[in-house]
Structures are given as structure tokens and as C-alpha cells.
Structure 1
């Protein structure tokens, strides 16, 4: 498999592989074989080191350092993110996946000269930031002539590499294992003993070679595998420890220094050895025993040798090794590693070391390493004697753990912090963090009361933060579909913001009023909030944090123009910031906008991008946009699959508003198929859920009114229309009033119905909401046919059919076709425009190129390297029988 991967890379392909197996099974030997076979290629090597797991991007730096000169050719955002992550320049903390994209681009640039092979051994010990970045890059390889191969120890897990191709390395077959064991033994051994050793080791090559060295002749004669035998890894380490015990004291001390120093930097090890009075001659026994080599790099025979050396030492000896390493590490060049060594050398409270760790946490956070910042802060808290200071540092560590996506660890540190003497503000911040963790883990009913409690505590302490927390509480209540009114009343009673209200303040006031006094009362303030969010002076951080709420507010107010502007800006903000945790939500909102505007092809393209990000980050995304897109497309089998999967996910997460959206989508799909009974059932079920902000409530009412009217249930339709009218009249937009006119027409007769249909078409024709306009033509045509005005009906139905077909709304188009046939009209066969044989990704590249994006910009958008974009364009040109970007634009 490794040879085939190398051959593919030589011919311009790329690929990634994870070599998995237990310790000693031969992973490193296979990787060494690959390096030898990679003649004519550039090879980069790195290895995870257990003691460096808390240092953000340490593994990435180790791998990329030799090719950093190529970073100047990367797009600006990527270059800056990579340099900041590796500590080469200052700047805002980079998004970790932007760093991953930069790593991909760096590998692609380095491979322009000759194919590149990246080998990462012991990947289970990579720091999480490096593992995420390298896993991201490995998943996005295309046509760069790059191979990335990871060696991973089992059973240790490396979730950041999940989904990559794997090669599982097992033990040797029985006969080959016996042959290897026989070669390693000093003399003849009983056949049954050989078989027992082979069975005990399960053919593990390192165990077969190393374990017999720790056994006496008597033990070999008596058999292998005592009743108290430890696990294989422990037994191998024990065999190494027995070999260590025979070495001179000075050699063991040198080995311990090398084991405690993760960089593998020879000069650092020798400087430490010199301080300990250890001479160069101490190296000779270690080399003779095959345990350690010190040349251009310090390398142990096997990672288990490092473990055995470190564990064999006493705690006092380990602290001594770390102390001397801290002393010889340059505080200007590598202050964080120096602080970490100093922390490991300290037994009791030490405020100086704790302060240095705190500074290291600040630097780690600036490089985009919240996990590293959390580790530094956690150890800093452990070394702090003053109870108040210790609680403060534990709280900071808990916040960093939460940012790093480790909720369980964050809860433990939060408990430690809350056990200390926190002041009033700190206790309020602790409660806020507890609420944020609850909301992040499960967006159900647990978070709203916790956020509400935190907001009330913050009111006398920090009015601005209190109001932001109240808005968080309202949002969480909406998500869960619980205690919305309670959260709104608390928000209304909160102290006003210091100074003029900003965009978030206006949102808070508008929603608080809406959920206490009704939609009409809250609408004016919410309209002011939307104007504030559309202002060019809006700070990017505010838009990024609350943009999602502004988008659904625009939809809630039937403001189609503002909805599109805000959704577009929200996506741009998320892209510019590299905020891949926010971008899927922003894209989902944009997908819904595209769907209502009848731009289903563009919506489908973004759906593919959401899936790409979810795959790249490993974070599942609730597909709100995909659910509504599927409903508008009207492909029943596909839509049912998407909606069922989304519903299961929403139930698990406890997101009440999401279940309302899913119900709305089912009602819309059923109406498009002409199944009014199913539409009514879905709309009523969705309407039974507590009303929340945003997409679902009025959309559900629109579907319910149509379904009830078609079933002849006038009273049910009239009641829903009363609820709908409250919103449409308060909104006053052409979209709102057009939908209301259409809904009233469904329950009217004769001239009144005709006048209302005409009004609806006139109003909706002034908007960009093409889907609703086409539906109005369809409903009007159906009414005209029932009135036996076939000629007039055909005009409306042809218009509807043409619009639905062009937009790709297949079920609605089929419904319009059936109605046309009922009027005696024969349809010519016509299919919607398609992109030929292009894949979804190729079609997306075409759209982006047509927008004027360069290959680098397209690659950044789609998480591909520019070379992969070039490869796709060559395929696209071939399929379209063109030769240039200019022809593509035409």
C-alpha cells in the first residue's frame, strides 16, 4: 500500500494513509521503508512526543519548519494564520482550520519542485492543534503530488484522523514469528516454549525480539507468561527497564535527560548533561545497547524506550532532569517550553513558575491554541498557593478548556474554581461558563435557566455583559422552545445599556417586547435593530456573534431585501474570520434565502460546502438549510431522507425550534405534492410547539392555511389567518401583504377572490421571493380552472409551470403540469437546465470562477489547494469543450 501511494504521488496524484497498530508491531519500520523508497522526492519527518501534547502546533512546526520559505506564496490570510500559529509573528489568534488550509497550501507549494512525502510517526501524541491541522490537510489532498502518512499506536485513539484511509498492521503469522524468535534466542529452546511465546506476543515483532532478552535461561526453559503477566506494552517496557538497570549510572542519567527533552535537539541535551557533570563517554553504553543515538537528532530505538527510561526514574530524578532542561532552555527563544520544564520540576507551590505559565497561556491563546492555554493555566493553578489566585486561574483554565471543545475537563476545573473564594463577578462568570457549557453540549432545556441566572447576577456588576447574556438566554430559550416568556420578562427588567443602544441592545429590546407584548409591539424595535446590523459601521465582532439572529429576524419581519443583505454579509464575515464553527450556520441561513428566492442551484452548491466543512472539521451540522431546500426541490424520496435524519438529530439535541422548522418543511413538501391532508397534519404538529423567533411560525401558518382551505376546513384556516395577519400587518412589506392577500383569496369567492389573487401577484412581483410568486400563480390558476375559466387558467398555470421548472421546484412544477392537462393544455417536454456531467464540486468551482475568484481564492473557499483547483478546471474545460477561463465566463 505504501509503495502504491508513492507511485501515485510520482505521477502527480496525492493521498493520505494512517498506519495503525499496537506498539512494536512494525509501524516505524514500515515508515522507514517508505522513506528509503521515496528516492527523488522531498521527505519531511515528524514524530509526536507525549510531553509536547499540551504545546499548540508543536508537531506542525516540527514538520513544516524545513519548507517555511514557501509560505510567502500562500494567500495572505493563510500565510498570516500559519506564521501566527507557529509563533513566527504576532496577530490575532488564527482559526485552527485556516491553519490547516495554510498547511495544505504549504505542502502543495513545496511539491511544485518535486513530489513531497510527509511522515508523522506516533501521531497519537501530537498536540491537538497540530493533529487537527494535519488531519484537515490530509482530507483535502487532491492533485498536489503530496503524500501524508501517519503512524498511530493502538489502542490509543486519534479522532482528528478519523475517515482517512487506514492500513492496520497486525502481528507476524505463526511460522514467521517462530523464525524471528528463534533468530533472537541465544540457543535452542523447547518447541512448546517457542509456541507459547509466539502465542503470548501474538506475533508482535518487537516483543519477539526484546522480551527474551529480559528472561533467564531457567525462565525460558520453564515457559513464558506467568499468571501475573502484564499487558504487552508494559512487558516490553519492563524488558527495556531490565536492560537499563545494567547500564552505568551516568548513562541512565543521560538517557533520562534525553527522554524528558521532547525536541530531540542534541545541543540542548549536551548542555543539560554538562550541567549535570555527565561526559560524552556516557553515551557509549547506550549506543552499544541499541537504545539511543545522538547525531543530527536525538532518537530512541523505539518510543517505548523513552517511556521505559522516564518511568524507571524516581520522581526526584525526573524533577532534576526537568530542572536542568529549564535552566538550559533559552527563555527568549522558547519561553513556553522552558516554563513547562520548570513546572514539571516543581513539587510545591511556586508563584514565579505559576506566573510564567500564565504568560505562556497568553501566548498560546494568541497562537490559536486554547488547549495549550488551558494546560498551562491548569498547571499554574496547581502551583498557586494563594486560594483566591488559585481559583481565578482555575476559572481561566476552565474557560480555555471550554473554548478548546473539552466540556468535561472544563466542568472539572470549574468545580475547582467554584470551591475557592471567588468574588461576586468571578462567581457570576463561573455561572455563565457553566451555562455556556450546557448550551454547547446540548441545546435543550438545561441552558436557558442557567444563562438567565448568570445574566441576573451580572446586572449590578457589568451591564453590557449582562445584556449580552440576556440575549444568549433568549436565544437558548428559543432553541429549546422553553421559558421564552420568562427570559423575555427578565430581559425587559434588566438595566439599560451604558450609552446609546447598539445593534445587539436593539435586538434584545425588540425580542423582549415581542415575547411579552406581542409581535406588533416588538416589530418597530426589531426593524431598528436590522437597520443597525446593515450599517457599514457595525463592528465585525458584533456581526459575527449576532449575525445569525439578525438574519432570522429579517425573515421574521418578512424583509426579503434585508434578509438577503444580512445573510450575505454574515457569510462574508465568517469567511474573512476563518470562523469554521460559525460558517456552517451562516451558509445554512444563506441556503434558505436562496431557496425562497428560487435560486435552488446556488442553494445546493452551498449545501455541498456545508457538508465539506462538516467533514473537514468533524463537527456534525444540523442541516436547517438542506431541509428547506429539499422541501422546495420537491424530490420526495431525497427530501424524506434529509428530513428524517435532521429530525433524529434535533430530537437528540433537544432543539425545539429545529423540530418546528422540520415540520414546516414537511408541510411545504406535502403541499407541493398536492397532498393537503398530509400538509395539514405536518403543519398542525409543527404549530403545536412553542412559538419562537425566526423561520418556523409564520411559514407553518402559510402552509396550514393552504392545506386547510383545500380540505374545506374554513374555520381552521380562518383561525390561522388571524394569527398570520398580526405579523403581516405589523411587518407591512410587500412580501408579507402579498402572502396575506393570497391566503385570504384561498377562503374567498367570486370577485373578492380574483381581486385578492391579483393583489398578491402584484405585491409579490415587486419582491425577489420568486417561489411564493410562482405558488400564487399556481393557486390562482387552480381557482380559475374550478371557475371553468380555462383560457385564463392556462395563462396562470403556464406562468407557474415555467417558473417552477426554471427554478428546479420539481413537485410544484408537476402539480402545475397536472392542472394544465386538466384544462386540456398539452405540454412540450422540457427539462430544467443542468450542468451536464459535472460533479457538484465542479459546478461549484465554475460558479466561483464566474464570480471572478482566482484559483487560490476558490481553493480557500472550498478547502482545496490551488493545484487541485487547477486540476478540476482542466477536467471542467474538457467536459465543456473549452480551453480558457474567458470561454468559461461566456
Structure 2
């Protein structure tokens, strides 16, 4: 079709081709027939002429349930390069594309990394344009992989050009592609196009076509032939339906065998002409040849060539399907099922579509297909269809609930509620009802709910356990415990949850039990949790899930050194398995803990990575948590403008969700900023909010973790009596647990609030084991040095102030460094200017790459670790070297500690 009125769009698309690497791509949106495919064709042709390699895929409605179908089509031209992939990437991709006997579901992120590696390697020879049309029909697995790739090609000579009918949420739409919205053609362009297509139209008919087409190019091309046949009723239909009627009318004029062949082709989930002809022969009970399709080619409905059948426009396909009767569609599906005996996963969907009423054999086959599915979205669809074909209510409910379980794991709340609601319209067994209950409790954004719901979940867990379903009961109990962290149900509900947990007979040292106890009762059970954690700290690395549970438990009881240790042990396993959702959580715990310990150089890149993965894996509350950690890091480094911006972002999400730990960390950052800027009254007000049960920032756990900052603000704001009252309220808690964070804060607070008699209390605080807690040791030396100077013990003060300055210089605590320098000057000693540490010259993302390179990892190994292409890693290293004043990666080890050293 000639192209009119799209000069601006063509210019933007030409810029995409000419400047590959400047942006990741363009998503063209618009109604059917508006010209998306024409723009794509012109761009692809221009790209090929410019020497680019064009790789293509497209969504097809009939294929939307075929997992990774779109990815297979895209990567097939690169199949000879698969063997060069790293083993884990190869295994994941081979499983995803059905090239392996493995029945395990591959990690979507490992599949994405494999696709990224293939495309980046291909682009090393010549730039690559990835074309993905009709995203609205692309199978979800392929769309997720393409989104993964699109987020990571900013530094690659690779770009994505995609099309979609509408702006519905799509993984690719959320991947940062520039959206190009196509509207109707201007009047002059519409007239020019109509002149080219139908120059001799009578004036009345021409006016009618222009009016009805509304600037849609496909309508301008098709309506001249159909307008005379459209009734007034038809004219009242939306334009898409009128076009479909025009195409179906053209199809109805074809010979009977051709119409049958066209219907088969329209329903086929592939484009093979051999499959279409074979199935048509089965349908007509006589052999047919390609000649049967010739009338459809002549009618400009399809094109044939290279063993394929392609429809001129997707509306042709949908029009032919809509025009057929239900019985005609069933018979065509049955013929296709008979044809596809060697493709069981494709065959079963045609069997299901060709079935009317219940059919347990087909339902069982769909259930088997769900087990084989290489993506949970495909498994959910197969199980839901199997449920519809189930012969008994019990089997139907089983399949609906199994689909709901998978939807929980995928985080799809609306799907879960719909599936469970459908199951509950049936008579459920006791076990099925238990499953329904835990499935609904397993949705992790429960912080939006009333805290009273936590007590209901605990009672439900006890009831389900009494009914004899311990696994479901434990899952419900875990949901209740998790909600005790994000919200605050009060002591009665916490004790109720704890009482139920104690009836389950789980050994006290069990990692899951430690995690539950630490969340629900961080102080009452803190001591026994800490005893187990200290014992288990020497046996990490054996079980990733265990290490993850233990990191959570350590975090809850204020053992941030142990939390960082266990989280660091859990992350390699999650990375290797491509479990980015769990990796995000482990990284969040690690970053939060390292920031509290004062190791900002290690915390910053971990927090940045966690923030990226939290968005990518759809975990908004974890994202808010990590943003709050990044705000804290910025405040500690003295970047108060950045801290304020990040704090506002985290607070918006935290307030909307009622996520107390996020809001408590927000208040901590505000307190740190106010302390650094000398606004001590504001600092005290900000930090005391965390201790007020009526405040949304109140956190039972975290109120015991920020006492150092609170006590310092109280002394400087003249609020020592108020701080002493808060301290007295925590004394019973401190007597029940040896929580490191709590006791370090209590010792500091007792000393700075003691006035003239503080010397002995400072000595006690400094004598405690602060190994692994450098920030707290630095604050103690600074506070003691300040106190000694005020007591006119100037010579003694210098030693402590000098030590504080050195610690804060090493940690990058800018405001605290300046305070130590100012105090030293007042004590008669000058300080050298602090030179920025090499790590402070890099962005967090650059720092993570540089640290891994300093360990001796290759670019490919770094890429595998960070889920980037090796070319992106190389690009970053070339930016890093000038920042650090070095010329090769061999110099990095001398400048940067390894991650292990940084975390120690």
C-alpha cells in the first residue's frame, strides 16, 4: 500500500535505524489498518539496505497460548549460534524452545539473558533490528523475554521495533520503548491515498468512503470495493467490524474448498501451507493441492510462498473465523488436531477447540500440557481450559485451584481471585477449600488489607491444620506472619499468630520457624532466634532457600551483620537459577543491612541492582523499600537533594500501601538529613515518629534500630528528657534479647544522655564488640571526643576525634567527616582534606561491574552475574577507566576491594 501522511513517523524510524544504541526502540500503537505494518516494512527495508540484520517475529491470535512461539520465530535464524552460549543459558533456552527433554520450567530471566547474548553477539558483526509485530497477540513468555532484552540494549547496536493495536499493559510497553501513537491520516493524505487506489470513484461514493474510513488507510483501500454493499445497519458498526465484514464478504464469494482451506489456515497456530493443505484434505475427505488457495490469493486475502500461508492483514484472519459457524470451526480444529500428531502441545489445543461439552480425555491431555509448559502463563491457560472440559465438579475444581496456585506464584491477583471464585461456585471438598483459602492468603500485597485480617488468617491456619491439611495451613500462617512485618496488628494479634505457630510442631531451629518467630515476636523470641543464627552462620551456602530465611530472621532481630552474611550467601544460588524475584528480596536485605552497618560502598550497587530487579519482577513494595535504602545512603553521603527526592518517591509508595518499614526508613533518612543540615529539632521530630504507635511510620521492629540517631538528635535539640523516656520504655525489651542493633543503640544513648557522668558509659560502649559495625564505632568515637572536648580534656579528645574522622572518611560519611574535622580544629588539630574514594567516583551500577572485574571475572562472567550482555559490560568498563584514572582492568584490584572484602 502506498504511504501518505507519515513523514514525521518515517523520520523518527529512520533515526532509530541510523542511531542504533542511542535508544532501545519504538513501539507503534494504533487501531487495525492504521498503517503500522506499512511503516514497519519500510523501516525493515531501509534497515536491510543500510546493512543491518533484521530479525522478525509477530503475535498470532491462534498462537497466543503456545509458550515461547514468538521467541522461537525470532531466534530461529540464530540457531547455529546456540552452542556458543554459556551452559546455563543454553539449557534454559533449549528448554524454552522445546529443544531439550527437560520438563522443568526455565527461568524467564535466564532465557532472556540467552536471547540477549545471542543478539549482542550477532550485533558484533552487524547491527540488529528486532521487529515484533502485533504484541497484543504475542504469547506472554515471548513478550517477557523481549522486554528483558529491551531493557538491556542501550549500549548495544540493537533496537526493537514493535507494534500493537492498543495501549493495554504489555511487558514490552513497560520496558522503556518510545511510544509512537498513529492517528488517522490528515484529509489531504487520505484524499491522495484514495486517488492512488481508486481514482475513478463517483463523487458520492468517494465522499462516503472518505467519511466512513476516518483516515484509516486500510479502510480507504477496502471500502471502495465494499461500500456499495454495506447496509445502513452495517454502517453503524465500528470501523474494525465493517472491515471484517468487507473481508468476509470477499471470502464468501470464493469456491467452497477454498473457503474451507482459508478457515483452516485462519485457525492454524502456524503458517505452514503443508499443514493447511493436509488438514483441509482431512476436512474435505479428499486430497487437495496448493491450487485450492489460488482464488484466495487472487482475491488479495492471502499470500503464499516459501511453504507458508500469510494473511494480507490480521483482520482477514479474524473475519474468516467470525464468519464461520461454530460447527465449521470445530471440524476445522479437529482436522488440524489430526494433522499435528507430532506436535502434542499444539495438537491438544486444537483438540480442545474442537470439543463441545465435557471431555475428560481432552481435559487430561491439557493438564499434561500444563505440566510440560515452559511458562506459568501457558500452564494457567491450559489448566483453565481443562477445567472447562472436566467431566466432574471435583476435577474441575482441582484444575481451577491448581491454576490459581500458579497465578499466585506469578503475582496475578485478578487471575487468582477469578479462578478461586469460579472454583467456589462448585461443591468443594475440605481439602479443596483449604487450598482455596491458602491461595487467597498467598497474595503478597496484603499490606493494603486491614491489620485485623492477620488475626483471621491465623485462625484460618489453625482451622485448616485441625482439618488435617498441614501444608496449606503452614502457607496461610506464613502469609499472616509476613503481614506482621509490613503492617502493625498489635500485640494481641501477634500473640495469636505466635500461638498458632507453636501448635504446628515445627522444630525451633527450623529456618521457616525462625523466620516466623523473628517477624511476629522479634524481641520475645529474639534471643533464641539469635542463638540459632549464630550457630548456623558457619554453615551457609548449602541451601539457598535456607540462607534466605535466615537472612530475614537476622534482619528482624537486629543482627544486621548476620543478615548481610546470610543474604550474601543466598544471592549466588538465586542468580544462577535465574530467580530474580527472590534475588531481589535477598539483595534488599543485604543492602538495607550494609547501609545500617555503614558499608555504603557495598550497599549502593546492591541497592541499585535490587531496585532495577524489583521493577522488572513486579514487586512495588520491595522497590519502595530499596528506594528508601538508597535515600538513606544518599543522606549518609551528604547528598541531601538526592536523599529528599528518593525519600519522596519511597514515601508515596509506602503511604499508598501502608508499608511501615518503608515509612520508618523514610523517617530515618529525614532525621539523618536534618542532623547533617543542623536542623536538630526537625531531626528529633522525624525520628520520634517511628516510636509513635499512632503514626504510619511506627514499626515494632525498626524502632529499636535507630536509637543512635535519635539520641544524638535529642541531645542537640535539648530533648534529653523525652529521649530518656523512650529509652526507659525499651529497657524491658533490651532485657529480653541481645539484639545487636538494639544494644548498640542503647549503649550509645545511655552515654550521650548521661551528661557530665558519661565517661564510664562511653567506655562500656566502646568496649563492646563492634566488629562489622564500623558506622556505630565511628559515631561512638565522635560523640566521646565531643564530650571530652566539652569537659576540657582536649588532648584525650583528639585521639577519639581522629579515629572518628578516619572511619567516616573510609565509609564516605561526608557530614560526619566534616563534624569530626571541625571538632578537631576546635581541639587544636588540623585535618587533611579528604580525597574522594575511588568507589565514590562511580555510579552504583558502574561500581558493581568494576568490583567484579577487580575480582578477575571476564566480561562474559560479569554479564552472566548481573544479567547484562558482555558488550554492555565492556562499554561500562571503558567509561570507568577514565573516571578512576587507570588504563586497564588490571589496575582495578589495587583500587577497589572485592565484594567479599567490602562486606567484611
SS at match of 2:55: strand
Which runs of structure 2 are paired with 1:423-502 in the superposition (5 Å)? 423-437=429-443, 439=445, 442=448, 445=451, 448-460=454-466, 461-463=468-470, 465-483=472-490, 485-494=492-501, 502=509
- In the alignment, what sits opposite 2:424? 418
Shift of residue 767 of structure 1?
Answer: 1.3
The answer to whether 1:27 aligns with 2:41 is no
CA distance in 1, matches of 2:889, 2:280: 62
The answer to whether 1:346 aligns with 2:358 is no
- In the alignment, what sits opposite 1:819? 823
The answer to whether 1:872 aligns with 2:876 is yes
Shift of residue 99 of structure 1?
Answer: 1.8
Q: Indicate which of 410, 423, 448 corresponds to 1:404.
A: 410
- In the alignment, what sits opposite 2:321? 310
CA distance in 1, matches of 2:839, 2:190: 57
- In the alignment, what sits opposite 2:4? none
CA distance in 1, matches of 2:763, 2:771: 15
SS at match of 1:94: coil
CA distance in 2, matches of 1:58, 1:446: 45
Q: Indicate which of 244, 257, 269 corresponds to 1:250.
A: 257
- In the alignment, what sits opposite 1:105? 117
> Residue by residue, what CA displacement relative to the aligned partner does 1:40-78 show, whole Å, maximum 9, x if unpaired?
443322110112222221211121123123222222222
Q: Report the CA distance shift for 1:635/1:113 in structure 2 as closer, same or farther (over 3 A).
A: closer
> Residue by residue, what CA displacement relative to the aligned partner does 1:545-585 show, whole Å, maximum 9, x if unpaired?
x35522413xx24x354233112123333323322222222
Contact 2:551–2:565 at 8 Å: present in 1 too?
A: no
Q: Say how many residue pairs are matched.
A: 868
CA distance in 2, matches of 1:689, 1:860: 45
The answer to whether 1:574 aligns with 2:561 is no
Contact 2:25–2:178 at 8 Å: present in 1 too?
A: yes
Q: Report the CA distance shift for 1:734/1:468 in structure 2 as closer, same or farther (over 3 A).
A: same
- In the alignment, what sits opposite 1:80? 91
Shift of residue 264 of structure 1?
Answer: 0.7
- In the alignment, what sits opposite 2:378? 372
Q: Report the CA distance shift for 1:443/1:565 in structure 2 as closer, same or farther (over 3 A).
A: farther
Q: Report the CA distance shift for 1:879/1:64 in structure 2 as closer, same or farther (over 3 A).
A: same
SS at match of 2:160: strand
Q: Report the CA distance shift for 1:639/1:113 in structure 2 as closer, same or farther (over 3 A).
A: closer
Shift of residue 749 of structure 1?
Answer: 4.2
Worse-matched range after superposition: 438-447 or 577-586:
438-447
Shift of residue 401 of structure 1?
Answer: 2.5
> Residue by residue, what CA displacement relative to the aligned partner does 1:747-801 show, whole Å, maximum 9, x if unpaired?
3244x4112212322325x412111111111211221222233333343333323
CA distance in 2, matches of 1:878, 1:640: 30
Contact 1:661–1:695 at 8 Å: present in 2 too?
A: no
- In the alignment, what sits opposite 1:392? 398
Shift of residue 869 of structure 1?
Answer: 1.5
CA distance in 1, matches of 2:61, 2:740: 63
Shift of residue 469 of structure 1?
Answer: 3.4
Worse-matched range after superposition: 528-537 or 669-678:
528-537
Shift of residue 346 of structure 1?
Answer: 1.0
- In the alignment, what sits opposite 1:189? 202
Shift of residue 824 of structure 1?
Answer: 5.2
Contact 1:264–1:298 at 8 Å: present in 2 too?
A: yes
SS at match of 1:276: helix
> Residue by residue, what CA displacement relative to the aligned partner does 1:658-705 show, whole Å, maximum 9, x if unpaired?
323322333344334443322221222111138998851212444333
Shift of residue 845 of structure 1?
Answer: 1.7
Q: Indicate which of 135, 148, 167 corresponds to 1:123.
A: 135
Worse-matched range after superposition: 121-130 or 672-681:
672-681
Contact 1:339–1:353 at 8 Å: present in 2 too?
A: yes
Shift of residue 436 of structure 1?
Answer: 1.6
CA distance in 2, matches of 1:216, 1:478: 68
SS at match of 1:19: strand
Contact 2:447–2:658 at 8 Å: present in 1 too?
A: no
Which runs of structure 2 are paired with 1:169-208 in the superposition (5 Å)? 169-185=182-198, 187-190=200-203, 194-195=206-207, 197-208=209-220
Contact 1:514–1:521 at 8 Å: present in 2 too?
A: yes
Which runs of structure 2 are paired with 1:57-76 in the superposition (5 Å)? 57-76=68-87
CA distance in 2, matches of 1:771, 1:118: 49
CA distance in 2, matches of 1:464, 1:611: 32
The answer to whether 1:262 aligns with 2:273 is no
Shift of residue 309 of structure 1?
Answer: 0.8
Contact 2:518–2:525 at 8 Å: present in 1 too?
A: no
Structure 2 unaligned regions, length at least 5: 1-11, 895-904
CA distance in 2, matches of 1:440, 1:86: 36
Q: Report the CA distance shift for 1:830/1:754 in structure 2 as closer, same or farther (over 3 A).
A: same
Shift of residue 316 of structure 1?
Answer: 1.0
Which runs of structure 2 are paired with 1:701-780 in the superposition (5 Å)? 701-732=707-738, 737-750=743-756, 752-763=757-768, 766-780=770-784
CA distance in 1, matches of 2:720, 2:883: 55
SS at match of 2:442: helix
Q: Report the CA distance shift for 1:464/1:434 in structure 2 as closer, same or farther (over 3 A).
A: closer
> Residue by residue, what CA displacement relative to the aligned partner does 1:234-286 show, whole Å, maximum 9, x if unpaired?
22112111211211121111110000002112221111011123623321110
Worse-matched range after superposition: 786-795 or 407-416:
786-795
Contact 2:550–2:566 at 8 Å: present in 1 too?
A: yes
Which runs of structure 2 are paired with 1:652-691 in the superposition (5 Å)? 652-689=656-693
Worse-matched range after superposition: 303-312 or 492-501:
492-501
- In the alignment, what sits opposite 1:608? 608
Contact 2:488–2:699 at 8 Å: present in 1 too?
A: no
Task: Output the TM-score relative to the length of structure 1.
Answer: 0.91
> Residue by residue, what CA displacement relative to the aligned partner does 1:798-819 show, whole Å, maximum 9, x if unpaired?
3323322332212223333443
- In the alignment, what sits opposite 1:145? 157
Q: Report the CA distance shift for 1:533/1:652 in structure 2 as closer, same or farther (over 3 A).
A: farther
Structure 1 unaligned regions, length at least 5: none
CA distance in 2, matches of 1:746, 1:512: 30
CA distance in 1, matches of 2:167, 2:669: 44
- In the alignment, what sits opposite 1:363? 372
- In the alignment, what sits opposite 1:335? 344
- In the alignment, what sits opposite 1:295? 305
- In the alignment, what sits opposite 1:134? 146
Q: Report the CA distance shift for 1:747/1:103 in structure 2 as closer, same or farther (over 3 A).
A: same
Shift of residue 874 of structure 1?
Answer: 3.2
CA distance in 2, matches of 1:773, 1:533: 23
The answer to whether 1:849 aligns with 2:873 is no
- In the alignment, what sits opposite 1:884? 888
Task: Output the TM-score relative to the length of structure 2.
Answer: 0.89
The answer to whether 1:550 aligns with 2:560 is no
Q: Report the CA distance shift for 1:614/1:510 in structure 2 as closer, same or farther (over 3 A).
A: closer
CA distance in 2, matches of 1:256, 1:168: 32
CA distance in 1, matches of 2:679, 2:803: 22
Contact 1:17–1:150 at 8 Å: present in 2 too?
A: yes
RMSD: 3.0
SS at match of 1:147: strand
Shift of residue 538 of structure 1?
Answer: 5.3
Contact 2:283–2:331 at 8 Å: present in 1 too?
A: no
CA distance in 1, matches of 2:638, 2:465: 49
- In the alignment, what sits opposite 2:592? 592
